[in-house]
């Protein structure tokens, strides 16, 4: 039994319209909680995760949901990544800091895994009202528009996102210095939006350090189905069930290698 992609899009729109957008730029003081310094959660995150957990498990009986906020409350839920064969990975509001500040971008990010492999993915833009979606082998789409990554280019001509810690904290100053060679380096504070832009050809690459599955599992599949290539900076494939740091997404293998060779410490 597999999820109906259109029904899942409806679930995401429902959560956005009922739980997220009514709170956008309207959060009260008590609606924002600091889980730890610099890490926020809002009532929109909690309500959207609760709604989507119910809708998704009703839609696919026997499946389980691992959501960012659920794992914060019960870290043992993270073990389901390796023990459950049909699994949803959910970030109910990706870009919570932006959302709490009354700014864009923020997204709803969802991946569906079978035996640890991502088979379908969705990144919904609540304000824009559209969803980037992909199924394994079926391409990446926003509505009727098929997504396609940008073509690789010279280091000086490419733009993207770089976390300076991705090659290890001892080398972050070196990476910071090398950033200046790229055409443009951006920071969205929202991985879901960054992957939508990447898969649409708006930027060339992204390099992340901490690999939380709710931030990256869906985006890596959408980017791959748009023609892109992702691997960890140690050269191994990206796997959503592993927390090994450092991941690079690029338009193709050759561009990935050129960026990696330029940035990696000697």
pLDDT at 150: 98
Residues contacting 130, CB < 8 A, separation 6+: 124, 142, 143
Say whether both 125 and 172 belong to one domain.
Answer: no
Give how many domains the chain has, as a whole number: 2
Q: Taking every pair of C-alpha atoms in the chain, what is the biggest distance, in angstroms?
A: 51
Say whether both 29 and 72 belong to one domain.
Answer: yes
Question: Tokens 């009727």 correspond to what residue?
Answer: 144
Distance CA 215, CA 210 (A): 9
Say whether both 134 and 10 belong to one domain.
Answer: yes
Of 96, 115, 146, the last residue of a domain is 146
Of 104, 127, 146, the last residue of a domain is 146
Say whether both 112 and 166 belong to one domain.
Answer: no
pLDDT at 266: 82
Say whether both 42 and 134 belong to one domain.
Answer: yes
Report angle CA 204, 139, 260 to the nearest 5 degrees: 30
Domain harbouring 166, CATH code: 3.40.190.80
Say whether both 73 and 200 belong to one domain.
Answer: no
pLDDT at 77: 87
pLDDT at 38: 81
Length of the chain: 266
Say whether both 194 and 105 belong to one domain.
Answer: no
Say whether both 88 and 10 belong to one domain.
Answer: yes
Distance CA 49, CA 26 (A): 19
Of 92, 118, 146, the last residue of a domain is 146
Question: Among residues 127, 94, 263, which one has the least CA distance to residue 185?
Answer: 263
Range of the domain at 169: 155-263
pLDDT at 35: 86
pLDDT at 79: 87
Say whether both 124 and 176 belong to one domain.
Answer: no
Say whether both 10 and 134 belong to one domain.
Answer: yes
3-class SS of residue 206: strand
pLDDT values of the chain reduced to their tens digit, one per residue, 266 residues = 789 999 999 999 999 999 999 999 999 989 999 888 888 999 999 999 999 999 999 999 999 999 999 999 999 888 888 888 999 999 999 999 999 999 999 999 999 999 999 999 999 999 999 999 999 999 999 999 999 999 999 999 999 999 999 999 999 999 999 999 999 999 999 999 999 999 999 999 999 999 999 999 999 999 999 999 999 999 999 999 888 899 999 999 999 999 999 999 98
Distance CA 235, CA 74 (A): 32
Say whether both 100 and 199 belong to one domain.
Answer: no
Cβ atoms 256, 232 nearer than 8 A: no
Domain harbouring 41, CATH code: 3.30.540.10
Say whether both 191 and 232 belong to one domain.
Answer: yes
Count of CB atoms situated within 10 Å of the CB of 106 = 27
Question: Tokens 């990206």 correspond to what residue?
Answer: 238
pLDDT at 203: 98
H or E element: which one contains 254? helix 253-263
pLDDT at 81: 87
3-class SS of residue 1: coil
């Amino acid at each position: 039994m597999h999820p109906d992609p259109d029904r899942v899009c409806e679930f995401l729109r429902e959560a956005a319209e009922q739980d997220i957008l009514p709170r956008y730029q309207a959060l009260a003081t008590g609606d924002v909680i600091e889980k730890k310094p610099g890490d926020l959660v809002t009532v929109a995150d909690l309500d959207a995760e609760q709604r989507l957990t119910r809708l998704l498990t009703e839609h696919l009986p026997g499946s389980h949901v691992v959501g960012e906020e659920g794992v914060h409350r019960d870290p043992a839920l993270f073990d389901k990544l390796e023990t459950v064969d049909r699994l949803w990975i959910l970030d109910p509001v990706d870009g919570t800091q932006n959302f709490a500040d009354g700014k864009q971008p923020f997204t709803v990010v969802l991946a569906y895994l079978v035996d640890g492999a991502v088979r379908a993915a969705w990144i919904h833009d609540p304000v824009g009202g559209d969803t980037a979606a992909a199924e394994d082998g079926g391409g990446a789409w926003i509505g009727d528009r098929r997504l396609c990554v940008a073509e690789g280019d010279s280091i000086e001509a490419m733009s993207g996102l770089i976390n300076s810690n991705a090659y290890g904290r001892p080398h972050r100053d070196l990476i910071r210095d090398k950033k200046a060679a790229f055409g443009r380096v951006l920071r969205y504070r929202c991985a879901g939006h960054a992957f939508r832009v990447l898969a649409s050809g708006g930027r060339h690459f992204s390099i992340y350090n901490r690999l939380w599955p709710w931030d990256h599992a869906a985006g890596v599949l959408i980017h791959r189905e748009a023609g892109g290539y992702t691997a960890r900076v140690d050269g191994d494939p990206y796997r959503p069930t592993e927390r090994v740091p450092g991941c690079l997404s690029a338009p193709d293998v050759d561009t990935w290698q050129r960026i990696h060779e330029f940035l990696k410490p000697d």
